[in-house]
Amino acid sequence: MTKHQGSEPTQTLERLETRVSPADRARIGEAAKAAHESVAHLLHRAALKEADEILGREVDVTRMPAAEYEALLAALDSPAEAIPELARIAARPSRFVRR
């Protein structure tokens, strides 16, 4: 275990190691360079993202008050309203032809 020194309080970190092919190492290095971050940081982010996905954790969550959520659901469940201008545009012949 090592101690992490930085702007945040000191915390104990553990080392993880993995083996990769030279081609994979080059690809990961290229991605880290494109993202302007270290390989370690890229791997850390990617591993956490994958872990959250496997564990079923939602990482992109929008929170709203219950009353607003219920109003949103009611609006989505309400009958659609016809919009004549959109219906007219949709009825025009397509400029593109599928072959």
Residues pairing with 2 in the sheet: 13
Tell me how many domains the chain contains.
1
Q: Which residues contact 16 (CB under 8 A, 6 or more apart)?
A: 47
Q: Distance between CA 63 and CA 54 in Å, rounded? A: 22
Predicted model pTM: 0.49
Identify the residue with better confidence: 96 or 38: 38
User: Is 87 contained in some domain?
Assistant: no
Residue with tokens 């591993």: 47
User: Is 61 contained in some domain?
Assistant: yes
User: Is 97 contained in some domain?
Assistant: no
User: Is 83 contained in some domain?
Assistant: no
| pLDDT tens digits for range 15-72 | 999 999 999 999 999 999 999 999 999 999 999 989 988 887 776 777 899 999 999 9
Instruction: Residue 49: give the domain boundaries.
Output: 2-78
User: Is 99 contained in some domain?
Assistant: no
Choose the weakest-confidence range: 2-6, 64-68, 85-89.
2-6
